[in-house]
Structure 1
């Protein structure tokens, strides 16, 4: 299977399509890079290619009446939400109620499993427990209606007090591409199961995984402020923006990488071929199938896999940037000079590392999680896909 960081989907295009400036700014980092590829189909009836979606409440802490589901996203650049009958409806400013917010919640069945229908679209399935989420329809820069998504890592966001989380997907004529995500935060344990040509499950936490993740992040030096009671753990990038995490946390490790590779080579292998790089005049410069170079990133650049590590969809700079971003988050660049590192035993072994992502992976049964944007490098993300899907199941797993 081709590693997803080497595929030709565009994360940046998807971010724009899902709301651009209308989405709460911090939410941009929420999208995993390749599960949300743009739908490749042209305009189609809302019910075209409907995929059965089953929601299973196995929290053990909330009954079905306390669980609210939202399916929101876009079709061909238009922001939409899924209605109870399984069709898409464009977001409209008139959808805001007297309180200033929409109510797009889909209710679960009185008991047992709930079956919904998913049309072709790209987006997220949000779940909230106990309270409904406050999505606000606003006008974007072009005057079109768009949604302000929940930003649970922003204390002033109206959804900050609400226990909620989401999974991500693209469903189109090419298949179903989906994942659980902790890129922005971790709150509600959930798993996805995708059936079709294969039967695949990912995201499932091990017994006690949620509690273990909270405890591990709380105990890691410099990370404790990211834990918000028993509600959520904020990803360190967002914590940095909120003043909860040191802006120079990874600087010593980044400096050591830059210093080390002034005197020896780092190789990065991608679908385009092998790139060989050294630091010259402060730039990590690679030769190979193309010449690419990177300025020394900041801690924020590493945590968001952006800035100096921005990954354009060009087949050369993008894949190398993704591998560097993964190596810096996993702290493998010094110990593994031939990247990408593929042995999970070599990940997160240094004192200065992304302890948040480390805790997310340790919490799952299969060791896969989306702890940062390019966690799909070497296939360590909680991502599955199927070109002939027959069903999708989202299970809210126990709060233990």
Structure 2
């Protein structure tokens, strides 16, 4: 089991400098609460239509009468503790639904309650022992779906929303969430009405229990695989974050969440950690942004839009970076803008033209990877991955995630697919219009 006590983590992280071992935990500690401690946000709510005042279950034979049939094999490579899986999403009527291990369906209901109501009907799929697997036949098409895995029992709730029923899912950054002390994670899944599959592993928000995937097909195109992170990656990432905190004094290690016993349960991205501590990295990027603005006041920045618009020249005038053909300019981004790539100057608005929509991801990626002041950084994207995260300030969470990925697959920030033409593929997505079996490995990737 990839757990370690706080003391072990610290010793491993600063073995070369024992005097740097702090006397208190550098990690944030989860303190699970109850219903009153749930924070409902767009991030942890799946909005569905209202279907009934009570929870409805459909037996496997009834469920299989509907369109769709996708076998999902769940492989237990986890070395400690009982692992449970949960398959949730929206059906074709946009109703919240869970698929149980026997292929039957559960449609949970809030009963009209504006206060979150726990789902009491069994929805967990207990995985067999390490080294064994179970296959669940998903009998319906399903969208906005997730396949959750946890060591222990995750808690899900239903709540009345203005236009229906909402599923309240575990929150990765609420330290008082009822599931906050558990090791958990998920893969994203869509199974379309055309019976196509799209499944994705992402580390944009956090790293939790280690998950990998493969997708076999029926059209002769072969098997696709995303291995993602290695089995010890959570420990390794948090050791790296402890080391980074000792180098620059920023609270990188606090992005790691441990339970009350000192066991690591997840590592948050800087953007997600800012929900817990908004001031922690508030000024982290300030000097770098000032240097970028100063440099590109006298030097042109070329953005290869990788579209029919080709390359466009950009330059700072006053306090704004302006790009040729772009419908509006870019103010200096804050730390929050850089972590999320979707706010401030990086928010794409209705009415923005194609040039703007192409510049935003490429400009933000250049900030996240700290390549704008490197030799050759005046062309974006132009430098390859060997140049990413090589200077500070940078996104050290993203750096460490990619360091411990086995196959380089799995986004570590929203625009991780921005790369020079023809180079690299950080996507953790598997997709096919002719799926056979989707296999998810928990605890360690396939050999």
The TM-score with structure 1 as length reference comes to: 0.80
Contact 1:189 1:398 in 2 (8 A): yes
Aligned position for 2:74 = 55
Q: Structure 1 residues 202, 311: closer, same or farther in 2, change over 3 A? A: farther
Q: CA deviation at 1:47?
A: 4.0
Aligned position for 2:253 = 224
Q: CA deviation at 1:285?
A: 1.7
Q: CA deviation at 1:329?
A: 1.1
Q: CA deviation at 1:302?
A: 1.0
Q: CA deviation at 1:352?
A: 0.7
Q: Provide the C-alpha distance between the structure 2 equivalents of 1:292 and 1:46, rounded to a whole number of angstroms.
A: 52
Choose the corresponding residue for 2:319, options 261, 270, 282.
282
Does 74-83 or 322-331 show the bigger shift?
74-83
Residue 222 of structure 2 corresponds to residue 185 of structure 1: no
Q: Secondary structure at the match of 2:336?
A: helix
Q: Provide the C-alpha distance between the structure 2 equivalents of 1:191 and 1:365, rounded to a whole number of angstroms.
A: 10
Q: Structure 1 residues 28, 158: closer, same or farther in 2, change over 3 A? A: closer
Q: Provide the C-alpha distance between the structure 1 equivalents of 2:65 and 2:238, rounded to a whole number of angstroms.
A: 40
Does 266-275 or 352-361 show the bigger shift?
266-275
Q: Provide the C-alpha distance between the structure 2 equivalents of 1:186 and 1:362, rounded to a whole number of angstroms.
A: 13
Q: CA deviation at 1:208?
A: 3.7
Q: Structure 1 residues 218, 382: closer, same or farther in 2, change over 3 A? A: farther
Q: Provide the C-alpha distance between the structure 1 equivalents of 2:45 and 2:90, rounded to a whole number of angstroms.
A: 17
Q: Which runs of 5+ in 1 are unaligned?
A: 1-21, 31-43
Q: CA deviation at 1:171?
A: 2.3
Aligned position for 1:199 = 223
Contact 1:108 1:114 in 2 (8 A): no
Aligned position for 1:33 = none
Q: CA deviation at 1:59?
A: 1.0
Superposition RMSD on alpha carbons, in Å? 3.1
Q: CA deviation at 1:393?
A: 1.0
Aligned position for 1:311 = 348
Contact 2:44 2:171 in 1 (8 A): no
Q: CA deviation at 1:279?
A: 1.9
Q: Provide the C-alpha distance between the structure 2 equivalents of 1:183 and 1:294, rounded to a whole number of angstroms.
A: 24
Contact 2:45 2:166 in 1 (8 A): no
Does 366-375 or 180-189 show the bigger shift?
366-375
Aligned position for 1:137 = 158
Total equivalences in the alignment: 359
Residue 148 of structure 2 corresponds to residue 148 of structure 1: no
Q: Provide the C-alpha distance between the structure 1 equivalents of 2:104 and 2:332, rounded to a whole number of angstroms.
A: 47
Contact 2:88 2:99 in 1 (8 A): no
Q: Structure 1 residues 158, 208: closer, same or farther in 2, change over 3 A? A: closer
